[in-house]
Amino acid sequence: MTAVAGIDVGGTKCLGVLFDGYEIVKSVRRPTPHAKELVTTLVEIAKELGTYSTIGVGMPGLITPEGVVRASPNLKGATDFDLRSQLETRLNHRVTVENDATSATHAEWQVGAGRGSSDLWMVTLGTGIGGGLVIGGKLQRGSHGFAGEIGHMVVHPDGLSCPCGRRGCWERYASGSGLAAIAGGERGEEVIARAASGDAQATELLDVFGKWVAIGLANLTNITDPDVIVIGGGLATSADVIMPHIRNWFGQILYSPEHRAHPELRVAQLGESAGAIGAALLSTN
């Protein structure tokens, strides 16, 4: 396999990888800048990665098949932003631009926790919530490239304000920032650490959080009937503490749980590199 490159643009960092022989042979990271500096940052990462045959970029938000960022609530300044054409002009070669969670889904499905599945959801729990969907052995992008924006499912119509401009989006309750809101401003990492050490109050907070996660997972299952749901993102690093709460509530909330096969809830295997690996793999298509 010839080396391919991928860059994942996150809320706080950009991670680039050189992927060769199904292994990461080099990685580069930079803080995520404002959109007006993003192209320069991505070009610098691409050049530092070295020689590659193809390169892809995973971006949060609504990404068109032409590589235009229509909206990206967690990335300041990225509205109707023609990222692909600007990168191709600067790098002087073809660049693939995909949604970041779609990229992570492809990676976990092909070389990670989702291998062997034909109908799969990938749910990334990070600063926000991203998602990707495989149906019948095919990665789904939707009519306009926007499939999988599950973080903005409305689960509480009169709920918390979301950076997208709406209220009550799922990611306001079931992401890292959602956990912090549930905990009254305490950082999610601190809540998880306290729960891991046996703190009863922190465990109760995680149970509330787990219920919110399960509500969204049950909705996805009721709509598409997957055989696997892969849970990724930053919060998946604490799966041993969080997943028991999610599994418990999922089994209770799912429609007619005693009369159906439940999708297998798996923890992502590729960690923070999933989006970059997926972008690299999709760049070869």
Q: How far apart are CA 23 and CA 163, in angstroms?
A: 36
Query: What local confidence, expressed as pLDDT, does residue 110 receive?
Result: 96
Q: Say which residues have a Cβ less than 8 Å from residue 23's Cβ, sequence separation at least 6.
A: none
Query: What local confidence, expressed as pLDDT, does residue 163 receive?
Result: 86
Segment 249-260, tens digit of pLDDT: 999 999 999 999
Query: What local confidence, expressed as pLDDT, does residue 250 receive?
Result: 97
Segment 155-185, tens digit of pLDDT: 999 999 998 889 999 999 999 999 999 999 9
Domain covering 4-103+273-282, topology: Nucleotidyltransferase; domain 5 (3.30.420)
Q: Which residue has better confidence, 233 or 226?
A: 226
* pTM reported for the whole predicted model: 0.92
Angle at CA of residue 147, ends 84 and 123, nearest 5°? 105
Query: What local confidence, expressed as pLDDT, does residue 229 receive?
Result: 98
CATH superfamily of the 117-268 domain: ATPase, nucleotide binding domain (3.30.420.40)
Radius of gyration of the chain (CA): 18
Mean pLDDT along residues 37-64: 96
Mean pLDDT along residues 222-244: 94
State both tokens at 121.
């959801």
Per-domain residue ranges of the chain: 4-103+273-282, 117-268
Segment 54-101, tens digit of pLDDT: 999 999 889 999 999 998 876 778 889 999 999 999 999 999 999 999
CA-based torsion, 226, 172, 105, 192: positive or negative? negative
Q: Which residue has better confidence, 1 or 278?
A: 278
Query: What local confidence, expressed as pLDDT, does residue 152 receive?
Result: 93
Evaluate if residue 1 carries a pLDDT over 60: no
User: Is 117-268 the same fold as 4-103+273-282?
Assistant: yes
Query: What local confidence, expressed as pLDDT, does residue 77 receive?
Result: 82
Band (131; pLDDT cuts 50, 70, 90): very high
